[in-house]
Structure 1
Amino acid sequence: MSETTRSRSRRAHHRPLVAAATGETPSRRPVWFMRQAGRSLPEYRAIRADHGMLESCFDPELVCEITMQPVRRHDVDAAILFSDIVVPLKAAGVDLDIVAGTGPVIAHPVRSSADVAALPRLEAESVGAIARAIELLLAELAETTALIGFCGAPFTLASYLIEGGPSRNYERTKALMHGDPDTWHALMGRLTDITITFLRTQLDAGVDAVQVFDSWAGMLSRDDYRTYVARHSARVFAEVASYRVPRIHFGVGTGELLGAMSEVGADVVGVDWRVPLDEAAHRIGPGKAVQGNLDPTLLFAGPDVVDREVRRVVADGERAIGVGAVGHIFNLGHGVLPGTDPDVLTRVVELVHSL
């Protein structure tokens, strides 16, 4: 651990996001945005004009620059490491690419026990570029700005590997899950190992918090989540608990799963826009912080609507604290949409900080 990392660790409570996540009183209400570093920013588009997505994810200087862009522009309270869900799979040796307009595409989908056995394991040195990027970021970030590490949850990684890419119905994923549970759990175990290695690399490098994205868990019933997914996500959170940094869990369309997702070990549960934060806090149970949950499409609706809805989310967050949440981190209910005016995001941050 570098001196920069040790220094930041000693002063972690100065960061509003860390304070809100751990039940302390933040100096201001923390706000950041999922996908804040990306296509909504002209400075990001300028970089990507000459660099592919995966190339950018494995270049420490580019990761640092892209991660810092929204921090400089918006004054958000956290930077989230610029990466992609499939980065640890690529680093391990899985043959995949990120295709513009499509997303991750897997050359040889995983459909059998033999395919699972052939999956490579992730060695920490294979993601050394990410550790180097974190070192660069820690040297540049202000003491009050948290750095959030990033990974995909085992279920979401499994869905990409099985389907071969993004899917609308996840029929192959659910067929393997129900039709061959032994192979399913073997695959999830291998992906859990990869996820843990990737998170530990980031934590050893000094991130202040981690967020686990189970982006597609909302496709599952509560029973299926508890039967086929929860134990593996729980192992991820348990294996990084000793680092004593906030652990955030988020999925899309997971309103019916919030209670089950809260049981796997996260300190903060992200909530999409479909469930008010106070209702979400009831479902999650006491003792955890909530994160969210402005509908990202409302950023296109004009300043009066944005002002009203930001105030509503802040009020919902206060009510969530009143019913047992330990804190509220303002965010969107999903990622920033590509066509979002970055000036609107800046105004949202200013408003949240003023309330």
Structure 2
Amino acid sequence: MTTTPLQNDRFLRALARQPVDRTPVWMMRQAGRYLPEYRAKRADAGSFMDLCRNHDLACEVTLQPLERFPLDAAILFSDILTIPDAMGLGLYFETGEGPKFKKTVRSQEEVAALSVPDAERDLDYVMRAVSTIRRELNGRMPLIGFSGSPWTLATYMVEGGSSKDFRHLKTMLYDTPDTMHQLLDTLAHAVTDYLNAQIRAGAQAVQIFDTWGGALSTPAYLEFSLRYMEQIVAGLIREHDGRRVPVILFTKNGGQWLEHSACAGADALGIDWSTELSDARARVGHKVALQGNLDPNVLFARPSAIRAEVARVLESYGHGPGHVFNLGHGISQFTNPDHVTAFMEALHDLSPQYHQGIPTQSSDAYSGVK
């Protein structure tokens, strides 16, 4: 892919802890169900997975929020469960119940039978979406690729869908830890291949979503979740198209493990709203950038209250580089887009003061960051 100069590299510079003129922003579930134009396109597509598998439609819904809001990065429209689906488990969605699999993986024999998908062959629809989005962005802003973490993917594969107590998964963890490690190692190889394929297709940053890591005890998190994210980070392409490819790790409800996570080799950590940014920054020092952490439910409040909370989050992080503003965790399907506009306006008004006196450089300078 030919390198296109970035018109807006604010997001990438913040991840590199370089000076920016204001705090960059993107939102998890950025192309989510809160936009009426997304709901219309989803209806046209027929199903959620039909939407994901059509690269032109996936591109269209990825770009939809960029037409409404002055965001600083696009994120690929896809799902974290594409890898286990490519492993033959039969992903489907039931209204009101979320993702489900036709097959589960609960025994050593079932784990041993799994093979790592060829990302560029078995998940080619994702790579076509990445390359299509990158082409349509035409340097407007960077594109984020992503995957679920091995632990999070395993929760769905073993349970067969969403779970409140992870009964089958934790039974495997405690009764047959070797089998669990075998499953997680297979998934770590799959995620590494998948993210590297996205990078080759055009993703300029990648995020690993560890949605369910916070359900673990500290020893279990370190052994069964963080260990495998470290393995993935170590195997990722870190420079492509002449630019550094930053990696973000996000463990929901994982604020108690920030010191460990900051040593995993990633460029940034996502922080949910249960961890105060000032505390997080003090604990990780200059090791990583931080991404977060507005409570998404603030967006149901009045614009004045939204503005006040944006100000509080900015003040909590404080002055200087290394902050990407985000919701911690993701935007609700019931959010009024007008309230997202109020959020964006507040951030654009308030954040420059935290970067005053800090010179910025051209996007070409970022390409040399190592």
Say whether the fold is shared (TM-score over 0.5): yes
Q: Do the aligned residues in 2 keep the contact of 1:43 with 1:69 (CA within 8 Å)? A: yes
Letter in 2 for 1:265: G
Partner of 1:230: 226
Q: Do the aligned residues in 2 keep the contact of 1:16 with 1:144 (CA within 8 Å)? A: no
Partner of 2:255: 255
Q: Do the aligned residues in 1 keep the contact of 2:270 with 2:291 (CA within 8 Å)? A: yes
Structure 1 residue 207 displacement after superposition:
1.0
Q: Distance in 1 between matches of 2:256 and 2:332?
A: 24
- Shift in CA distance, 233/171, structure 1 to aligned 2, threshold 3 Å: same
Structure 1 residue 133 displacement after superposition:
1.4
Structure 1 residue 262 displacement after superposition:
2.1
Partner of 1:310: 310
Partner of 2:4: 7
Partner of 1:137: 133
Q: Does structure 1 residue 175 correspond to structure 2 residue 184?
A: no
Q: Do the aligned residues in 2 keep the contact of 1:54 with 1:87 (CA within 8 Å)? A: no
Q: Do the aligned residues in 1 keep the contact of 2:73 with 2:144 (CA within 8 Å)? A: yes
Q: Distance in 2 between matches of 1:101 and 1:260?
A: 36
What does 1:263-278 correspond to in 2, within 5 Å? 263-278=263-278
Partner of 1:31: 25
What does 1:146-295 correspond to in 2, within 5 Å? 146-243=142-239, 244-295=244-295
* Counterpart among 49, 55, 61 of residue 66 in structure 1: 61
Q: TM-score, normalised by structure 2?
A: 0.89
Query: In structure 2, the residue corresponding to 1:306 is in which secondary structure?
Result: helix
Q: Distance in 2 between matches of 1:278 and 1:209?
A: 25
Q: Do the aligned residues in 2 keep the contact of 1:94 with 1:119 (CA within 8 Å)? A: no
Q: Deviations over 1:11-35 (max 9, x none)?
A: 59x5100000001112331011100
| Percentage of pairs with the same residue | 40
Q: Distance in 1 between matches of 2:39 and 2:125?
A: 22
Query: In structure 2, the residue corresponding to 1:93 is in which secondary structure?
Result: helix
Partner of 1:20: 14
Q: Deviations over 1:37-89 (max 9, x none)?
A: 01100000001113211111111001100100111111211111001110122
Q: Deviations over 1:167-218 (max 9, x none)?
A: 1111221221121111010000111111111101110011111010000001
Letter in 2 for 1:87: T
Q: Do the aligned residues in 2 keep the contact of 1:127 with 1:201 (CA within 8 Å)? A: no
Q: Distance in 2 between matches of 1:183 and 1:64?
A: 38
Q: Distance in 1 between matches of 2:25 and 2:147?
A: 20
* Counterpart among 35, 52, 56 of residue 51 in structure 2: 56
Letter in 1 for 2:338: D
Higher relative contact order (CA 8 A, sep 6+): 2
Q: Distance in 1 between matches of 2:327 and 2:300?
A: 13
- Shift in CA distance, 305/142, structure 1 to aligned 2, threshold 3 Å: farther
Partner of 2:354: none
Query: In structure 1, the residue corresponding to 2:4 is in which secondary structure?
Result: helix
Structure 1 residue 223 displacement after superposition:
1.3
Letter in 1 for 2:314: V
Partner of 1:344: 339
Q: Distance in 2 between matches of 1:29 and 1:125?
A: 38
Q: Do the aligned residues in 1 keep the contact of 2:262 with 2:287 (CA within 8 Å)? A: no
Q: Distance in 1 between matches of 2:86 and 2:51?
A: 13
Q: Distance in 2 between matches of 1:132 and 1:27?
A: 33
Q: Distance in 1 between matches of 2:224 and 2:298?
A: 35
* Counterpart among 21, 31, 34 of residue 40 in structure 1: 34
Q: Deviations over 1:214-263 (max 9, x none)?
A: 00001012211112222211111111153331101112111212222222
Letter in 1 for 2:233: F
Q: Distance in 1 between matches of 2:251 and 2:94?
A: 23
Aligned residues: 344
Q: Do the aligned residues in 1 keep the contact of 2:238 with 2:246 (CA within 8 Å)? A: no
Q: Do the aligned residues in 2 keep the contact of 1:259 with 1:285 (CA within 8 Å)? A: no
User: What stretches of structure 2 of length at least 5 have no aligned partner?
Assistant: 351-370
Letter in 2 for 1:173: L
Query: In structure 2, the residue corresponding to 1:287 is in which secondary structure?
Result: coil
Q: Distance in 2 between matches of 1:142 and 1:293?
A: 29
Q: Do the aligned residues in 2 keep the contact of 1:215 with 1:250 (CA within 8 Å)? A: yes
